Amino acid sequence: MVYLDGAMMIPLLRGIAMWKCMHCGLEVMFQAVEPEVDNDGCHFICPGCEGRNPLANVSGNDSIVLAQPD
Ligand SMILES: [Zn+2]
């Protein structure tokens, strides 16, 4: 497991700083969860249901900018 220290996270929810769990619908402050990366890509683990939620790197350069796909 690798934590993406310093990664920027930009939820695509009209500026609302929340992730929304695709499994249980829980909305989580994005500062409250650590994005993780493994062989299947970036994701965060929902603190409510422990479900895996994929994140996409939307950066156009060498930096890491994570966003939650629609
Ligand atoms: Zn959940």
Q: In 3D, which of 68, 26, 66 has the Cα closest to residue 50?
A: 26
- Distance in Å, CA 45 to ligand 1 centroid: 8
- Distance in Å, CA 22 to ligand 1 centroid: 7
Helices and strands, number each (H, E), in the chain: 0, 9
Mind listing the pLDDT tens digit of every residue in the chain (70 residues)? 455 555 555 544 445 568 889 999 999 887 788 888 889 888 999 999 999 999 888 888 887 778 887 7
Domain that residue 7 falls in? 2-67
- Distance in Å, CA 53 to ligand 1 centroid: 8
Query: What pLDDT is attached to residue 12?
Result: 46
- Distance in Å, CA 26 to ligand 1 centroid: 5
**Domains held by the chain: number:** 1
Query: What pLDDT is attached to residue 6?
Result: 58
| Single-letter code of the amino acid located at 31 | Q
- Distance in Å, CA 61 to ligand 1 centroid: 31
